[in-house]
Amino acid sequence: MSRLRECANGRLRAVKMDVFPNIADKSPENFPSWKFAYLEIDYDPEIGAVWMLYKASAPHHFPLRMFEEIVELREALLRLCASSLSERWPVRYFAIGSRRAGVFSLGGDLAAFAAAARDGEHEMLRAHATICVDIMHSLDGGFGLPIVTLSAVNGQCLGGGLEGALVTDFLIAERDAKLGLPEIAFNTFPGMGAVSLLTRRAGPALAQKIISGGSIYSGQEMFDLGVVDVLAPNYEAQETASAWMRAGGEERWLRRRALAEARRKCFPMPREELREVVDLWVDCVKALTDQDLRHMDRLIAAQHRLSLGAQRRANKDSPGEPAIQNAGS
């Protein structure tokens, strides 16, 4: 049995598959034609790369349904790797990208966060954030598989979107991409992995500067700071990522995987650490003032305008597809 199948089988033994009823149509036999509302799956057989792409019509932030789809994809991928079809569809890389022009991800569902804060539903916030950090923890470990993970960042990558990019083994970003953690603007902080991930990548002093300053950095600036691993020309994030994965073949892949495993061993990110930071984040949200929430409302309006415009463009380009802007929200 291959190392990939052995790891996937071990991971699946700890999972009750009836918890994921929506993966029935995402069997190994149907790969790579798995269908999601918000995610598009692509496979590059030459390099064994599975791409998870945010659809052009998907919200620019992370609604809860998108988290659920990522979990479904993870479990479906584990089933594929544990099956005999893993030899037909070998997986060496798991890459994250976006089909949304000018936007990788604007981060968390600020509208849901603001509503919960106003209504005092702090346990809902904690539950939402816990789902997020559990996904982050599993992605940080490459889903327990012998793979290399990477993000190909185009355009705006802010807040939780940047956290989701930082959690992969390698980060590729376009030269003029906009990366930042603006949560300090409404008196909170990025509570779903950024503190641990940035400290591991850049050291505690630089991590604190980026988080507490709330500034937006270009891809070039983040590359110069050592946060971004590979710099891509503008509008070529995914092409650059594909060329990077293809370069060096088997030998280069083995070195990258060894480096990723060494980072995890030397700088572990325990699930308990992430959940403790979530508790601190919830305490911070409890203390938000009306002025803080009004500032959050302005960012929510910006998120909504970008998402609505993208959905209209996507529906115009693909008139046969149903509009999904309210799916799972």
Q: What is the pLDDT of residues 25-40, one digit of tens each?
A: 899 999 999 999 999 9
Q: Would 327 be classed as within a structural domain? A: no
Instruction: Give the whole-number percent of the chain exceeding pLDDT 90.
Output: 78
pLDDT, mean of residues 164-192: 96
**Nearest partner of 144 among 77, 213, 64, judged by Cα:** 77
pLDDT in tens, 196-210: 999 999 999 999 999
Alpha-carbon span 68 to 39, nearest angstrom = 11
Indicate whether 303 pLDDT > 90. Answer: no
Alpha-carbon span 121 to 286, nearest angstrom = 9
* Residue of 24 and 329 predicted with greater confidence: 24
Q: How many domains does the chain have?
A: 1
Indicate whether 321 pLDDT > 50. Answer: no
Instruction: Give the whole-number percent of the chain exceeding pLDDT 70.
Output: 86
* Residue of 269 and 312 predicted with greater confidence: 269
Q: 323 pLDDT band (50/70/90 cuts)?
A: very low
Tell me the three state secondary structure of residue 98. strand
Q: Would 251 be classed as within a structural domain? A: yes
> For residue 7, what pLDDT is reported?
63
Q: What is the DSSP letter of 88?
A: T
Indicate whether 236 pLDDT > 50. Answer: yes
Q: Would 184 be classed as within a structural domain? A: yes
Q: Would 323 be classed as within a structural domain? A: no
Q: Would 322 be classed as within a structural domain? A: no
Q: 325 pLDDT band (50/70/90 cuts)?
A: very low
Instruction: Go through the chain and tell me how many residues it has.
Output: 329
Using a cut of 0.75, tell me whether the model's pTM lies above it. Answer: yes
pLDDT, mean of residues 98-124: 93
Mean pLDDT of the chain: 89
> For residue 326, what pLDDT is reported?
30
- Token look-up 């092409």 returns 239
Alpha helices, DSSP H, located in 83-229: 110-119, 122-140, 160-166, 194-202, 204-213, 219-224
Q: Would 321 be classed as within a structural domain? A: no
Q: Would 159 be classed as within a structural domain? A: yes
Residue 226: count other Cβ atoms within 10 Å of its Cβ: 11
Q: 313 pLDDT band (50/70/90 cuts)?
A: low
Answer positive or negative: Cα dihedral of 240, 149, 106, 328. Answer: positive
Q: Would 324 be classed as within a structural domain? A: no
Indicate whether 320 pLDDT > 60. Answer: no
Alpha-carbon span 329 to 324, nearest angstrom = 10
- Token look-up 């609604």 returns 63
We report the CATH number of the domain holding residue 219 as 3.90.226.10
pLDDT, mean of residues 28-54: 97
The DSSP string of 65-117 is: HHHHHHHHHHHHHHHHHHSGGGTTS---EEEEEE-STTEEE--B-HHHHHHHH
* Residue of 210 and 317 predicted with greater confidence: 210
pLDDT, mean of residues 49-58: 96
Tell me the three state secondary structure of residue 116. helix
pLDDT, mean of residues 172-199: 95
> For residue 20, what pLDDT is reported?
55
pLDDT, mean of residues 218-240: 98
Indicate whether 156 pLDDT > 90. Answer: yes
pLDDT, mean of residues 141-154: 97
pLDDT, mean of residues 218-242: 98
Alpha-carbon span 80 to 74, nearest angstrom = 10
Q: 127 pLDDT band (50/70/90 cuts)?
A: very high
Residue 164: count other Cβ atoms within 10 Å of its Cβ: 28
How many alpha carbons lie under 13 Å from residue 156 in its C-beta half-sphere?
19
Tell me the three state secondary structure of residue 179. strand
> For residue 17, what pLDDT is reported?
42
Q: What is the DSSP letter of 185?
A: G
Whole-angstrom Cα Rg for the chain: 19
* Ramachandran angles phi, psi of 170, nearest 5°: -135, 145
Which range of residues forms the domain containing residue 34? Answer: 3-316
Q: 149 pLDDT band (50/70/90 cuts)?
A: very high
Please provide the distance, in angstroms rounded to a whole number, between the alpha carbons at the two ends of the chain: 41
